[in-house]
A = this chain, B = another copy of it.
Amino acid sequence: MNNKLTLGIFGFGVVGQGLYDIIKTKNLNLAIKKFVIKHPEKKRSLPAELFTTDAKAVLNDPEINTVVELIDDAAAAFDIVAAALKAGKNVVSANKKMIATHLKELVDIQHQHGTSLLYEGAVCGSIPIIRNLEEYYDNELLHSISGIFNGSSNYILSKIFNDNLAYDTALRQAQDLGFAETDPTLDVGGFDAKFKLAIVASHAYGLYIAPENILNIGIDKLSTSDIQFANEKNLKIKLVPTAREINDKDVILYVLPKLVSAENILYNVENEYNGVLVKAAFADEQFFYGKGAGGHPTGSAVLSDIAALRYGYRYEYKKHIDAGSLGYSTDWEITVYLRYDDEKIIEKLEFTSISERYYAQDFKYVIGKISLAKIFENRDAINRNGVFIAEIG
């Protein structure tokens, strides 16, 4: 079975262009019929008849059997993807926010309409983590999945810890290189990593958890004191999303900065690279490392999905069907470093134990144990200038 694919592609940005670059080098059984774009006035490198601004030109064209969705706007992307799946077309998307937010609905639509939605490019660019969770670790007992899922914030942290750049300088450099958006909150605030974590957790544990119920605190409140603290202890700070099965009933999910030592495999993941660490009962520690963003790495993941559609590939969502017994929990203690300005927050957070305290006029911190639920409850009080939290260990 090698079905000829006729593609309609929404978006012609960096990933769309990357995809086009890849497809033209290959003798694949597929053709791009139409790109749907928003700005017809922009100069394009391809013939004008390939472009349209009308979504219906793709969605209503029976010859187009495969839709590739590569636009930024998550709400518009959902409408396109849902409509395409309902119209009997298979879909490839790289829109992590859209997928994380609507996953259950999208799975239901796939089942109702017998269509397939693939989204490897949405999670850690070229790293084939979804495919491996679906196909290869489908019978494994997965203790945890964690890693570095956001290239922009990792680039900034690398520049801070390896080249002694200030946070603002590193952020500007990341923006100049196209790794970070003009409004970088999605990246440095840990939202992008959280969307990816939600998708990963779904394929690892069969859970649909709405992103708003998952804790994410980013690296944007990092101060020179925090950096000095880490440096003195030969640690680096990384932004780490974590999914962990804490017992045979409960899974925890959170995104927090983390102080990591040289023994941690994430310590050496630098710049725009991503890494995914899978800990499993039998396979033990597996680590996947590669470029997490950029037109070509993401384009290559999107192309792998497109190629798989030629053979009728679909995610089985076996863990959603089989298990059903795992639930989502925030009842779990972690050890954190917390820099703060005002004692009140220490009371609020109800540390269950404190192992270190440091006071100076312009730098106060505690190290102690605290429940995820308490951090989540007080996330607005933590996520402001004057406070920085990072997991330890």
> Hey, which bits of chain A sit against chain B, CB under 8 A?
18, 21-22, 25-26, 28, 126-128, 131-132, 135-141, 265, 268, 280-291, 294, 296-297, 299-301, 303-304, 307-308
The answer to whether B300 and A283 have CB atoms under 8 Å apart is yes
In the complex, A308→B134 CA distance in Å? 11
The answer to whether A139 and B26 have CB atoms under 8 Å apart is yes
* Known pairs A131-B136, A139-B303, A307-B139; A286 contacts B288 (CB<8 A): yes
Most buried by B among A281, A285, A300: A300
| Chain B residue at minimum C-beta to C-beta distance from A289 | B287
The answer to whether B285 and A291 have CB atoms under 8 Å apart is yes
| Chain B residue at minimum C-beta to C-beta distance from A291 | B284
Specify which chain B residues have a CB less than 8 angstroms from the CB of A135 in the assembled complex.
131, 135, 304, 308
Most buried by B among A281, A282, A299: A282
The answer to whether A283 and B26 have CB atoms under 8 Å apart is no
The answer to whether A265 and B282 have CB atoms under 8 Å apart is no
Specify which chain B residues have a CB less than 8 angstroms from the CB of A297 in the assembled complex.
282-284
In the complex, A25→B127 CA distance in Å? 29
State how many angstroms separate the Cβ of A283 from the closest Cβ of chain B: 4
Q: Interface SS of chain A: helix, strand, loop or mixed? A: mixed
In the complex, A294→B287 CA distance in Å? 17
The answer to whether B288 and A287 have CB atoms under 8 Å apart is yes
State how many angstroms separate the Cβ of A321 from the closest Cβ of chain B: 11
Specify which chain B residues have a CB less than 8 angstroms from the CB of A289 in the assembled complex.
265, 285-289
How many monomers of this protein are in the complex?
Answer: 2
Most buried by B among A132, A135, A301: A135
State how many angstroms separate the Cβ of A152 from the closest Cβ of chain B: 17
In the complex, A25→B248 CA distance in Å? 13
The answer to whether A290 and B284 have CB atoms under 8 Å apart is yes
In the complex, A290→B128 CA distance in Å? 15
Specify which chain B residues have a CB less than 8 angstroms from the CB of A287 in the assembled complex.
287-290
Most buried by B among A126, A280, A308: A126
* Known pairs A28-B139, A141-B25; A127 contacts B286 (CB<8 A): yes
| Chain B residue at minimum C-beta to C-beta distance from A280 | B300
Specify which chain B residues have a CB less than 8 angstroms from the CB of A291 in the assembled complex.
283-285
Sample 17 A-B pairs with CB under 8 A, ordered by A number. Answer: A18-B282, A28-B139, A126-B286, A128-B136, A131-B132, A139-B303, A268-B268, A280-B300, A282-B299, A282-B300, A282-B303, A283-B290, A283-B300, A285-B289, A286-B288, A286-B290, A289-B289
State how many angstroms separate the Cβ of A134 from the closest Cβ of chain B: 11
| Chain B residue at minimum C-beta to C-beta distance from A273 | B285
Specify which chain B residues have a CB less than 8 angstroms from the CB of A138 in the assembled complex.
304, 307
The answer to whether B139 and A304 have CB atoms under 8 Å apart is yes
In the complex, A289→B127 CA distance in Å? 12
Specify which chain B residues have a CB less than 8 angstroms from the CB of A25 in the assembled complex.
141, 281
In the complex, A154→B289 CA distance in Å? 20
Specify which chain B residues have a CB less than 8 angstroms from the CB of A307 in the assembled complex.
138-139
| Chain B residue at minimum C-beta to C-beta distance from A316 | B311
In the complex, A281→B308 CA distance in Å? 19
The answer to whether B282 and A22 have CB atoms under 8 Å apart is yes
State how many angstroms separate the Cβ of A184 from the closest Cβ of chain B: 23
Specify which chain B residues have a CB less than 8 angstroms from the CB of A127 in the assembled complex.
286
The answer to whether B140 and A300 have CB atoms under 8 Å apart is yes
The answer to whether B304 and A136 have CB atoms under 8 Å apart is yes
